[in-house]
Amino acid sequence: MSPGLRRRYAVAGQCAAIQFAIASFVGCFHVWRQGAGSPAVYFVIAAIPLSAALLLIGLAALLPNFVGVGSIRFPLNVTMPLAFAAVTVATVMLWTTTGNGLVATPEILRSANLWVNASLLSVTTLAQFLVLSLVALARIGP
């Protein structure tokens, strides 16, 4: 494996870890603020961003040019949060859709539908963009 390819995988992992942490915090804070939430609900709320982060790392492994800039900088600080939002919505759909229309989604997985909420997903995407931009700015220094 070439050093450039290894660097791209490292960048994808760093971005995914930052995005997972932000999304999990935002989702769990939202559930906590509403006053509802058993430990299982918090697990589901955090598991959706974890799945999305792992899928993004897999996407970067299949398409190395997805993170082609080699470090966290523009345009990666814009595209990664947007890709994370799209993969998060796809993950929710995969988790909550049953193969048979007559079978209801299990009660515990209904909390995953929180991630389809446009306002929460927008706040998460904006927070990820801001943090990745700050990381990019911190790495520009002398």
pLDDT of residue 69: 66
pLDDT of residue 70: 67
User: Domain extents for the chain?
Assistant: 3-140
Cβ neighbours of residue 132 closer than 8 Å, sequence gap 6 or more:
15, 18, 19, 72, 76, 77, 80, 81
Q: In angstroms, rounded to a whole number, what is the distance separating the alpha carbons of residues 68 and 63?
A: 9
pLDDT of residue 96: 82
What DSSP designation does 141 have? -
Q: What is the mean pLDDT of each run of 10 residues along the chain (142 residues)?
A: 74 88 93 83 90 90 74 77 92 80 73 86 93 81 50
53, 84 Cβ separation under 8 angstroms: yes
pLDDT of residue 59: 87
pLDDT of residue 140: 63
Task: Please count the residues of the chain.
Answer: 142
pLDDT of residue 21: 95
| Burial profile 92-122: b = 16 or more Cβ within 10 angstroms, e = fewer | beebbeeeeeeeeeeeebebbebbeeeeebe
136, 69 Cβ separation under 8 angstroms: no
pLDDT in tens, 44-72: 899 999 999 999 888 888 887 777 666 66
Could you tell me the pTM of the whole model? 0.85
pLDDT of residue 50: 94
Q: In angstroms, rounded to a whole number, what is the distance separating the alpha carbons of residues 116 and 89?
A: 6
Q: In angstroms, rounded to a whole number, what is the distance separating the alpha carbons of residues 110 and 104?
A: 10
